[in-house]
Amino acid sequence: MADICSETGLFAKGGGFNDCFAHVVLQAAIAGLACIGVLVGSIIIRDLPRLRVQQSKPIDGIRAASSGLLFLVALVEFFIGISASEVINLSQGVGGGCLAVAAMVVNFWQQQETKRGLTESLGLKLWWVLATLAQVITTYDRASKPGGVALAFEAVELLLSVASAAAYLAPSGRSGSTREPPLLSEEDGISMVGGGGRFARSLSTREPSPEDQVGIIGWLAFSWFTPIVDLAFQRDKESGKLEPTDVYPLTNRNVANKQLERLDQQWQVELQKEKPALLSAMTRAFFAEVFSTAWVKLLNDVLHFVGPFLLNRIINFVKGTGEEAGEELWVGYAYAIGMVLSSACQAFLMAHYFQGGYQTGMRLRTALILMSYSKALRVLPWPSPPPPEEPAAAEPETRRCCKKKPKKKPSLPTGGMGQMTNIISADTDKFTFLMPYFNLIWSCPLQIIICFVMLFNYVSWSLFAGVVATRHAMQRDRERERERERESAEEGRERERASSFSWVLFCCCLSCLLRSVS
């Protein structure tokens, strides 16, 4: 505390309160109360499952926005304060950091209430009142001192604290509590059967999937899928498992009939051509979805090289060499934060890329299965003999000695339902695993080009010497592998000759034995 405030203790030596000490202690106490309250509340509701469909209200969005803005403002105040800036002193920066931590944990608690359908916590209401009063005191104290920027930060935090407290004190209308888990209530269309832990529910009464209604944060973190995981965990504790009725119904864009219509429409266009191609129909039908995952893959590939680039900048910054020599301290913090954000963005992008790729593969596979099934309904369920060939019309004789015989039209396959079943079960499944890796056709060359450009920028013409050495090493390894294959083949032939000789010797001995006996 002595490093933050010139004097320690609640009272100053010259008389009166020690404003710096009181300010830091007050903000730290408020943050500590928030952390303790959220910790105790999390222990109380740790066994309560989340709602499959969140009962979010408009007031919940206002609460999240106000507390989120309060967190951002306090975080900016903290970074400015610890950077030894003359605009905001260190004590106010530490106070802003405490307020940012408190706003973050309180926002987390409010989200847990929304996800579980709980009413507003009385303890959290009291905390918002105390936090607002503490902000009033610190703002009044800051107003009596010089510094317009510091006072502006305190005033903005006061306004956001008042807005957050008012939004949380306003009732949301939810009736759930920590003593009555809302997931297993009859209001949600769920009923217990025989006390065995299984939910009796029909497909028509399933809740709609919240995937389309979730916010940007929930969409990035796949929070709409979390209730399914919680339910599976609860079923596992009851020695049960998920049932088909527990899964969300398909969204409108994933319905099988729509996928068939998309592909069949393009296939009808292909049938008008002289040589229809199913690949062209699939390309036109699903090109937009593949392209939507391509730009995600492109951003992820670019971010692959941001980390090494920033790492080189950090090393030069610490060593004090290169372009980073003599730069301010906040630049180093920016490099470090950039590396963290780059890794976080790659995690989000790769998760959404694979989710989009598998979704595209699923839709394409669904359309192909339905087309194959509709084709199977038009053929007999057993192998049918090909129709008899019509006798060809007699052609006038010509004196050409090397007349080419016309090619016969290939006969139709007669595999029956077995061939159709093979197409449906095995062949179409390949598209499900192809789509997530389809973009590697252009992604791999792009990554190689970017890598070579960056290496040339760092090591100049030495890059090509490394490429030649690597190529030579790869060629030498390939030759060694071929030599080992030849040696193993020669050993196999030797063993075969030895076994053949042993068999011939055994036959000769057996023949001699039979002759001697006879």
Q: What pairs with residue 11 in β-bridges?
A: 17
Percent of the chain with pLDDT over 90: 1
Note the pLDDT of residue 100: 83
Is 222's pLDDT higher than 70? Answer: yes
Task: Report the alpha-carbon distance of residue 283 to residue 255 in Å, rounded.
Answer: 19
Half-sphere CA count of 261, side-chain side, radius 13 A: 6
Mean pLDDT of 12-31: 62
pLDDT single digits (tens) 66-103:
888 888 888 887 777 777 556 566 777 777 788 888 88
Phi, psi for residue 29 in degrees, rounded to 5: -65, -40
pLDDT band at 8 (very low <50, low <70, confident <90, very high): low
Nearest to 88 by CA among 182, 20, 140: 20
Band of pLDDT at residue 227, cut at 50, 70 and 90? confident
CA distance 282 to 102: 53
At 189 the pLDDT is 39
The helix (H) or strand (E) run that includes residue 350 is helix 329-376
Do 202 and 245 meet the contact criterion of CB atoms below 8 Å apart? yes
Residue with tokens 């306090």: 74
Element (H, E) at 198: strand 198-199
Higher-confidence residue: 443 or 30? 443
| pLDDT tens digits for range 486-508 | 888 888 888 877 777 777 777 77
Taking each continuous run of H as one helix and of E as one strand, the counts in the chain are 15, 2
Please tell me whether residue 199 adopts helix, strand or coil conformation.
strand
Name which of 12-16, 142-146, 493-497 the model is least confident about: 12-16
Mean pLDDT of the chain: 75
Residue 67 CB neighbour total at 10 angstroms: 26
Q: What angle do CA 148, 154, 157 make, to 5 degrees?
A: 140
Q: In the predicted model, is pLDDT for residue 296 greater than 50? A: yes
In this predicted structure, the answer to whether residue 35 has a pLDDT above a threshold of 60 is yes
Mean pLDDT comparison of 28-32, 84-88, 194-198, highest-scoring range:
28-32
Whether pLDDT at 312 is above 80: yes
| Degrees, nearest 5: CA angle 477-478-482 | 115
CA 109, 110, 116, 119 torsion-angle sign = positive
Which percentage of the chain shows pLDDT scores above 70? 72
What's the CA gap between 297 and 59, in Å, rounded?
Answer: 37
Mean pLDDT across the stretch 413-421?
60
Q: Give the pLDDT score at 149.
A: 75
Let me know the angle formed at the C-alpha of 221 by 365 and 212, rounded to the nearest 5 degrees.
60
* Least confident stretch, 12-16, 144-148, 369-373: 12-16
How would residue 518 be classed by pLDDT, with cut points 50, 70 and 90? low
